[in-house]
Structure 1
Amino acid sequence: MAPHVIAAGRRHTVGLRADGRVISVGANTAGECQTSLWRHIVEVAAGRVHLARNTGKSHTLGLRSDGTVLACGWNSHGQCNVHDWDDIVAVAAGWRFSVGLRHTGTVITTDPVTYDTLAQWQDVTAITGGDWHVVARLADGTVRAAGNNTYGQCEVSNWNGIESVAAGYLHTIGLKGNGTVQVTGYPAFWNGCARWTEIVAIAAGSYHCVGLRANGTVVTAGRAEFGQDDVSGWTNIVAIAAGSASTVGLRADGSVVVVGDNSHGQCNTADWRLF
């Protein structure tokens, strides 16, 4: 199962159907849920910002099978200006920026703050966008990061053996080949991750971390004031995502479960079937 068939922003949740169409639920303040006409999508991403920021606006990205990218939603900082991107194999979204990974292993972004740094990265195999920073996994299992480093969330230069990465508000998490994780940044947002084992996928919300175990169950760490940690009963999960204060799981039967902040109906996915 592709890891990026579900995504979550601050107030919306996005799902990619097997036929390449995209469904969205939650706030549509800036048009971030206007994905019904999208076709031939192979990956989705959603912009996210921590709840303390006084804006509910967000954006959504869709990677098409031909390597081009679609975007909708909030565009005050040019984060939706991706119409001329091509040869893209993966996308990521932060609060006010979008990131694309090219087939060549290079990275493009709409963010003027990190543009020059990201342009120098080579041999990238995976990218992720935090609220304010970008993280990349390289082909040799090392990691690079750029952007806000207030709590050391970009201090990943000594990481190795990493299979995938996820970025939150002030923290970064990496999945190692042995099923454990490596984490840096603000401790309150990832405390508890050190005990995780048998992890096969990771996600990071603004204030929490999520791990998918090999047996299809899910674990969380960090803050949980909106109930984003209420995953103890989840089973048969094949993919995970995390919003600002929500946790999303895709079940093996194609249904989607969401817990956490539901102030704008972003958890109302009971009728979804992605395949």
Structure 2
Amino acid sequence: MDYISPKESALRVNRWAKNTIAAGSRHSVGLKFDGTVMAVGDHKHGQCNVSDWCNIVAVAAGNVHMATNTGNAHTIGLKSDGTVEAVGWNKHGQCDVSDWSDIVAVATGWRRTIGLKSDGSVIAVGRNNDGECNVSGWHDIVAVAAGDWHTIGLKSDGTVTAAGNNRYRQCNVNDWCNIEAVDAGYLHSVGLKLDGTMVAVGQNKVGQCDLSSWRSIVAIAAGSKHTVGLKSDGTVMAVGWNEYGQCNVSDWCDIVAVAAGLTHTIGLKADGTVVSVGSNEYGQCDVKGWCGIQKQHYD
């Protein structure tokens, strides 16, 4: 067998990571072991209409715009055959993914959907007022993330590229290296390095980018104005906006995956159950009865 360096191995694994929980602005989504999907929370635009989905291997939940908080959102499901399902608000064509194929990962932002293809190229549909869908020239991408107005792509060499609005320097990621995971919030971007430390750029008004002291991180999630990190021991850290208690995760344990929405955070436990903190105005934290949710797995 050819030698694979630790760096190459980590990035190869990251490419096939499947997101099995997702937190939108006002709803939460969970992928079960049998490939079916559960959803709770705001259902104004049918974004929780996932009960008939099957053969799903990853899920993503779109956010409302942080400033307007209008309640418009959508949900995306990646199928085992590389096609994509979508439900919810579709004013800007963000759910027009029925013709997609050969997809290995998906991400959702405000009014758009991003798809990573098996050849490392990227496609996008939806709002593009700030160039956030200008990803057609990207190549060698192994992971994607979408904020409100910007899109992040992790390359196979551990560097990062970005497109879209850069008002708060949230796209200033060109000097990042040795990155194995990325995520994007409302106006900030975060990266997980191979050594378990973090980097962040963008708006830091409420401390959502104060991650320099974090260590032993194995997974990350960026909410609208908060950032969550999963540690190797199954505990969780969070910084940023905490008006609704969405950062109150210090007592969590045995966590294997995390997701962050507008005002809530959810965590998947090793036993397949789910925990949550934050606003529950729309029932987005009503996940206590969930069970059989998949761990994040790798092909």
* Category of TM-score, reference length = shorter chain: over 0.9
**Which residue number corresponds to residue 73 of structure 1?**
88
Whether 1:56 aligns to 2:86 is no
2:16 is the counterpart of 1:26: no
Residue in 1 aligned with 2:151? 134
User: Structure 1 residue 195: deviation in Å?
Assistant: 1.1
CA contact (8 A) 1:10 1:49 kept: yes
Letter in 1 for 2:23: A
Query: Which amino acid in 1 is paired with 2:286?
Result: N
Q: Which amino acid aligns with 1:53?
A: T
Residues in 1 aligned to 2:221 and 2:258: alpha-carbon distance in whole angstroms? 7
SS of the aligned residue for 2:192 comes to: strand
Instruction: Indicate which of 240, 252, 255 corresponds to 1:234.
Output: 252
Secondary structure class of the residue paired with 2:134: helix
1:164 equivalent in structure 2: 181
Q: Choose the corresponding residue for 2:29, options 4, 14, 18.
A: 14
Question: Secondary structure, in 3 states, of the residue corresponding to 1:194?
Answer: coil
Deviation per residue, 1:174-217 (Å, 9 max, x gap): 00011000100011342431110000000000000000000000
8 A Cα contact 2:201 2:209, kept in partner: no
Structure 1 residue aligned with 2:142: 125
Distance 1:73 1:111 in 2: 13
Residues 251-275 of structure 1 show CA distances to partners (whole Å, capped at 9, x for unaligned) of: 0000001111111010010100115
CA distance in 2, matches of 1:187, 1:46: 24
How far, CA to CA, are the matches of 1:130 and 1:116 in structure 2? Answer: 11
Percent identity of paired positions between Structure 1 and Structure 2? 52
1:192 aligns with 2:225: no
Unaligned runs of 5+ in 1: none
Distance 1:54 1:270, change over 3 A: closer
What code does the residue aligned with 1:8 have? Answer: A
Runs of 4+ in 1 over 4 A off after TM superposition: none
2: CA distance, partners of 1:191 / 1:183: 5
Equivalent in the alignment of 1:153: 170
In the alignment, what sits opposite 2:282?
Answer: 264
1:213 lines up with 2:211 in the alignment: no
How does the TM-score come out when normalised to structure 1?
0.97
CA contact 1:50–1:207 (8 Å) conserved in 2 = no
CA offset at residue 111 of structure 1? 3.4
